Amino acid sequence: MKELTYKQLVETDIFDLIGAPKSISKDEKEALILKMYQTIENRVIAKIMDRLSDEEIKEFDQKMQLGQKEAFEYLKTKDIDFNKLVLEESIILKTELADLAKNHGIKR
């Protein structure tokens, strides 16, 4: 099987990448998307926590209580680009899922 280029990886639908059957139901797709979203969210939070000191984590938690906008602004002051982290983790997860499907003989 031919290796995917970066462009193909980014542009190809995740369900096509993992070889999901065309008959997959809307509910099944939504459940898989939710699991992927939760995985990405957990990974991004872990990366943020790794970059902050204990005191900064407390400050970040306080900002989160105020709202998402305040939390994102706080991260910017710490040179943490939330959107970039989400994009990176999305691509990493998509790559992992494509590799997993490939290694288990699922055809695209």
For residue 89, the 8-state DSSP code is H
User: Average pLDDT, stretch 45-52?
Assistant: 97
pLDDT score, position 75: 98
Least confident interval from 1-10, 44-53, 65-74: 1-10
Identity (one letter) of the amino acid at 84?
K
Flag whether pLDDT at 1 surpasses 80: no
Nearest in space to 85 (alpha carbons), one of 98, 71, 100? 71
Query: Which tens digit of pLDDT belongs to each residue from 49-107?
Result: 999 999 999 999 999 999 999 999 999 999 999 999 999 999 999 989 888 887 766 55
Distance CA 6, CA 95 (A): 9
Distance CA 91, CA 67 (A): 27
Distance CA 21, CA 64 (A): 40
